[in-house]
Amino acid sequence: MIGSAELGQATDDSFSEDVLRSDLPVLVEFTADSCAPCRQMEPVLRSLADDLRGRMRIVQVDVPANPATTRDYQVMGTPTMFLFHGGEPVRQLVGAQPKRRLLREVEPFV
């Protein structure tokens, strides 16, 4: 079923463990409940998580609830996505993205 994968949630307290120390590449979406494009991205990210299960993790960071991580990565708008590989950000995408664009960006790392 499309969109069935669970998306992880990272917080200021868990970001280092959930993202920076991950053995797998991690796509992080900085999001907010009030952001319409973020809500549009949710089924896209779930479908991507299904397609790449076991090869990549996808987590969300709630911007209002996690100001330190948001500030650390200089997120100015939502949705903003970072792809982390080996604990380092290797790609940044701002705004809603189609699934094919996300696949193109992450495929070299998975």
Q: Among all residues, which ones are annotated catalytic?
A: 35, 38
CB 79 within 8 Å of CB 29: yes
Cis peptide preceding 64, ω within 30 of 0: no
Q: Tokens 């479908």 label which residue?
A: 47
Helix axes 36-51, 99-106, angle to 10 degrees: 50
